[in-house]
Amino acid sequence: MTSESPRYADRIYRSGAGLLGGVLLLALIAWLGVDALVRGDARTRLLALSGMLLTAPPVVALTVRPAVFAGDTRMRVRNPFRTIVLPWGIVEGVRAGLSTEVFADGRKYHLWAIPVSLRQRKKAARRRERAERAARGDRPRGLLAEAQAAADAADGFRAPSDQAVDELNELAEANAAREEAQGPVEQRWAWELIVPTAVGAAALAVLLAAG
């Protein structure tokens, strides 16, 4: 009888703002495209269909698709047009500078799903300053100030992207030695988005050239 380590659901990291923006853009594309398909003549319908094929897949790729899945054995990075699978055994570290990056097997990969926000970092720094003042005895006054101080202490004074980087580095360190966390980098292109975009661009070019 063999004992196996318990497996947990993957942690998922993605940009809520990017996801919301993508949904709104797709709704706009659908509204304009469907309106042209219903009301337009034959050429207008072809132009609308080509335009939808050209614009919708990149919007999905840049806003809805990006995500990072972190499990017990690997990290799966879903970037706009490519998916990279990185076993923890070859992950050298994750860093958030002007962008979030993971280093593995001597190469660097960007994490589109975890954008770096300088505004969030400044906000975290202000919270840290408030906590330091409170530690020196300059206590906040009033219920709102006390509630803000409690929220500051709860979030660890770190921007969301920096918190995500800390968690990913902890997972990499904790799981790097696991036997099932070894292996090479795997990459796959998102042809389901690349092909429709190319078809839409080609069709639109032909229609515009034909006048």
* Bridge partner residues of 93 (DSSP): 103
Distance between CA atoms of 99 and 195, rounded to whole angstroms?
Answer: 28
Q: Within 10 A of 4 (CB to CB), how many other CB atoms are there?
A: 6
pTM, entire model: 0.78
Per-residue pLDDT of the chain (211 residues; tens, 9 = 90+): 344 555 667 899 999 999 999 999 999 999 999 999 999 999 999 999 999 999 999 999 999 999 999 999 999 999 999 999 999 999 999 998 888 999 999 999 999 999 887 666 566 556 666 555 555 565 555 544 444 445 445 455 677 888 899 999 999 999 999 999 999 999 999 999 999 999 999 999 999 998 7
β-pairing, 74-78 vs 107-110, is unpaired
